[in-house]
Amino acid sequence: MEMSDDYSSFTQQTLTDLAISNPNNWRFLLIRSGDTTQSLGSIMAIKINDTRSKNTEIFFLDVSDYTIPERPTKTGFPFLDENWQFVPSKYDRNEYKNLIAMKLNGKYFTECHICFEKENYAVVEAYPTVLPITNSSVTKFLYWEYLENEISGVLRKYLSIIGCTSDRRLLNKAPHEPNLSMLFSQPAKLNYIFKLVVDIREYPDNVWHKSD
């Protein structure tokens, strides 16, 4: 689909190798191969239910021919439901394709779960956030990026996650919470853009940036 015709029609349709019997079991993320908007790498197809491994599985489709490997990659995630959202990355060519999933109905708050490419997606780490519990009908996560910032000689590593919500009450604590901020609001359209910061622990061998 193209912006020139207001996304009203498909300019190209390509048959893939994926056999999809139940669309509700699938999620898709675009993985860019570089840092320009014209550089496409692959599509990550995520099967969240009804898999042979009894875990969430991922497939990578090459955009040149949309073929997939013979076997999917089993992840550390169990079967998931509509209370989970996968977040596209603001992809940098030096980053690993780590998989970020937000659990909207965490125990007390929304939770951030990270599945690491370097560990073949078998390792998952969970982090609490300051965003209250929500649901997919009112809150969507748009993209994430990994950042580092040195303060007083201490290196802080964190994820900056951008999202939008129609529930203004979720952001009531934003003025007093450094890890949650409202970036833009359109009250007439019930649309609030926010940034959520998630501090992450030190992880061996640096799973965020590939060495040169």
DSSP 8-class letter at 89: B
Terminal Cα distance for the chain, rounded: 36
pLDDT in tens, 160-185: 999 999 999 999 988 889 999 999 88
DSSP 8-class letter at 139: E
Kindly state the tokens that stand for 180: 């949650």
pLDDT in tens, 118-166: 889 998 999 999 999 999 999 999 999 888 888 888 888 899 999 999 9
- The pTM (predicted TM-score) of the whole model is 0.83
Nearest Cα to 180, choosing from 168, 191, 188, 189?
168
Query: Which residues pair with residue 138 across a beta bridge?
Result: none
